[in-house]
Amino acid sequence: MRTIGLIGGMSWESTAIYYRLINGLVRDRLGGLHSAKLLLSSFDFAEIEALQRPEGWDEAGRRLADAGRRLQQAGADCLLICANTMHKVAPAVAEATQVPLIHIVDVTAAELGRRGSSKPLLLATRYVMEQDFYKGRLASRFGIEALVPDAEDRSALHGIIFEELVRGVVEPRSKARCLDIIAKSREQGCDGVIFGCTEICMLLTQDDFAQPAVDSALLHAEAAVDFALGEAAQAETPALASDL
């Protein structure tokens, strides 16, 4: 079994989800007392959140790249950034390391393809919904046109994530608001829903609505376990790191 390196703490609520998912998947596949070989570098999220500004992303990239290098030096055979938003600095992490970085957009896109969804609704932080690093990768590499909620709904969703979910708070009224956003997207022709924030699964499940739901955190964890157990994973090889 190969060792998975997790760059986490963004937030620790979602990193705990990753830890549970990865270990549960290994147990399910191998049985007995098996669990995953993991290394974790966990940030103080307040420090990272403070860098999520135009002038702070370069420093955020340097910090995550340093975490990736330290995980590699400690024996990690692959790396995961345990957050959708922080994939904005995935190129910096990939360029600083020589082990595969499993990219959350790629595994999400693969599942959207399997589900026949080419025009999904993207539920995420404002950075993911409004900047191009996520939607642009879906479009340019996979031909997927991700749509986002309108400005008012984007603001509400961003607030739900940062004021509630990353703090471990799950409110019924927030779930109802998200379901309303999803219902509107169906009227606009969306044929799927991306849980493009790794905490969204705390609030929503596939049972809550009809469109196919694609949970980025679960797919990311599954790809890591595939890699660790020698199965096919959607991982960037070092040779392709510059493409991230």
Q: Is this model's pTM higher than 0.85 or not?
A: yes
Taking 90 as the threshold, does the pLDDT of residue 240 lie above it? no
Q: What is the pLDDT of residue 244?
A: 56
Q: How confident is the model at residue 74 (pLDDT cuts 50, 70, 90)?
A: very high
The percentage of residues in the chain with a pLDDT greater than 90, rounded to a whole number, is 93
Q: Are 235 and 77 a contacting pair, CB within 8 Å?
A: no
Q: Are residues 40 and 74 in the same domain?
A: yes
Sheet-wide strand order for 121-123? 121-123, 193-195, 213-215
Taking 60 as the threshold, does the pLDDT of residue 11 lie above it? yes
Q: Are residues 168 and 195 in the same domain?
A: yes
Tell me how many domains the chain contains. 2
Taking 80 as the threshold, does the pLDDT of residue 223 lie above it? yes
Nearest to 220, CA basis, from 49, 86, 120: 86
> CA 173, CA 153: separation in Å to the nearest integer?
14
Q: What is the pLDDT of residue 233?
A: 40
Q: Are residues 66 and 129 in the same domain?
A: no
What is the separation of C-alpha 36 from the centre of its chain, rounded to a whole number of angstroms? 19
Q: Are residues 193 and 151 in the same domain?
A: yes
Q: Are residues 91 and 174 in the same domain?
A: no
Taking 90 as the threshold, does the pLDDT of residue 232 lie above it? no
Q: Are residues 182 and 235 in the same domain?
A: no
Q: Are residues 68 and 127 in the same domain?
A: no
Provide the residue type at 186 as one letter: R
Q: Are residues 92 and 152 in the same domain?
A: no
Mean pLDDT of the chain: 94
Q: What is the pLDDT of residue 234?
A: 39
Q: Are residues 201 and 141 in the same domain?
A: yes
Query: What value does the mean pLDDT take over residues 97-124?
Result: 97
Provide the residue type at 216 as one letter: S
Query: What value does the mean pLDDT take over residues 33-41?
Result: 98
Q: Please compute Rg for the chain using Cα positions.
A: 17
Q: What is the pLDDT of residue 231?
A: 73
The CATH number of the domain holding residue 135 is 3.40.50.1860
Q: Are residues 87 and 145 in the same domain?
A: no
Q: Are residues 123 and 145 in the same domain?
A: yes
The percentage of residues in the chain with a pLDDT greater than 70, rounded to a whole number, is 95
Q: Are residues 38 and 61 in the same domain?
A: yes
Q: Containing domain of residue 169, as a range?
A: 105-216
